[in-house]
Structure 1
C-alpha cells in the first residue's frame, strides 16, 4: 500500500498535468522542460510524478476522458437532452484536439491502452445522452452510441489549419442528423 500524497505534491501534479494539457493544445511539439517551467516545478519534480513523456501524456488523456464522461449526466440535469448533447459535442471538440496531440506522441502500446480506456466510458456517456433524447422525442430512435462515435471519429482526420473552422461546424452537422424529423 502506498502512502497518501502530500497536498503540495498533489498540487504540483495537477499543475504539471494542466501545463501539459495547455502545451498539447497549443503545439505539436511537447517539451517536458517547458512544461515543468510552466507548471512552476523543477524537472526532478516532473520526473518524480511522470517518469516518461508517455506517462505524462497518458495522464492528460485519461483525465480528459474522465471529465468528458462525467459531463454527460451533469449536462442532462441542467439542459434538455438535445441541448445537453450539443454542449457535450462542444466538449468533444476540445477533447479531440488534445487526443490528436497525445496519440501521435506515444508508443503504439500506450496508444492502445489509452484507446481502450476511453471507448467504453465514452460510449456509455453517449448512450446516456441518446437515451434521454429518445425519451423526450428529440433524438432519432435508430442511432446508437457506436454510430455517434464513428461519426465524430472524423475529428482525428482534420488538419491543424482547418481545426477551428471545421471541428465545431461538423459536430453541428452530426447533431442535426441525430435530431428527429419535425
Structure 2
C-alpha cells in the first residue's frame, strides 16, 4: 500500500473509532470521512460498507475474546471462566453504541463482513458454557446461540444504566441468572 493510501486508511480507522464511540455504530459515514479529512469516496474505496469498517475495528476485540475463551477452557473453575468471558464480551460490546444490534444481525448473515468473527466469538462462549454445564454450575437449558443473544442483551441493558455503579450491579444480576 502506498504511503498516502496507508495514511488515509489509518486516519479513517482512527476517525471511525472516535465517531462510533461518540455517536454509535450507525453514525454517519460522511462524518467519519470529514473527521479523517478525506472524501466519502476515499472512505468507500477503503471500506465499501459500514460492516466492512466495523469489521476492521471490531475484529481485534472479537479475536481477543475468542482467544481468551480458549485460554479460559483450562481454568480450574468453569463457572468463573464463563463469567469472566461474559463480562469481557459485555464490556467489548459497550465500546460502540449500537454495536450489539450490528453483531446480532451479522451472526445471522453469512454475507456480513462481521459474520465469521461473530461466529468464532459465539463458539468460544459456547465451549465455556458447555464446560460450565458439564460441571453443573450453569443453566442446562441454554446453548451457544442463547448465550450470544443473552450476552448481547446484557450489553444493551448495561448500556442503559445511568451510573457506573448501577451498570455493574445490573451486569452482576444478569450474570447470576446464568450460573448456579
- TM above 0.5, yes or no, is yes
- In structure 1, the residue matched to 2:92 is 95
Q: In 1, distance between residues paired with 2:159 and 2:7? A: 32
Once the two structures are superposed, the pairs formed by residues 78-89 of structure 1 within 5 Å of their partners are: 80-89=77-86
Calculate the aligned-residue CA RMSD, in Å.
4.1
Q: In 1, distance between residues paired with 2:34 and 2:151? A: 32
Q: Is residue 2:23 matched to residue 1:27?
A: yes
- In structure 2, the residue matched to 1:150 is 149
Q: In 2, distance between residues paired with 1:104 and 1:144? A: 20
Unaligned ranges ≥5, structure 2? none
Q: In 1, distance between residues paired with 2:118 and 2:34? A: 31
Once the two structures are superposed, the pairs formed by residues 124-163 of structure 1 within 5 Å of their partners are: 124-155=123-154, 157-158=156-157, 162=161
Once the two structures are superposed, the pairs formed by residues 34-49 of structure 1 within 5 Å of their partners are: 36=36, 49=46
Q: In 2, distance between residues paired with 1:103 and 1:150? A: 9
The structure whose residues are more often helix, as a share, is: 1
3-state secondary structure, aligned to 2:54: helix
Once the two structures are superposed, the pairs formed by residues 50-69 of structure 1 within 5 Å of their partners are: 50=47, 54-69=51-66
- In structure 1, the residue matched to 2:70 is 73
CA contact (8 A) 2:158 2:167 kept: no
Unaligned ranges ≥5, structure 1? none
- In structure 2, the residue matched to 1:17 is 13
Q: In 2, distance between residues paired with 1:75 and 1:22? A: 31
- In structure 2, the residue matched to 1:179 is 179
Q: Which moved more, 1:161-170 or 1:62-71?
A: 161-170
Q: Residue by residue, what CA displacement relative to the aligned partner does 1:117-146 show, whole Å, maximum 9, x if unpaired?
A: 355323311221112223434323333223
CA 1:17/1:153 → structure 2, altered by over 3 Å: closer, same or farther?
same
CA 1:15/1:153 → structure 2, altered by over 3 Å: closer, same or farther?
same
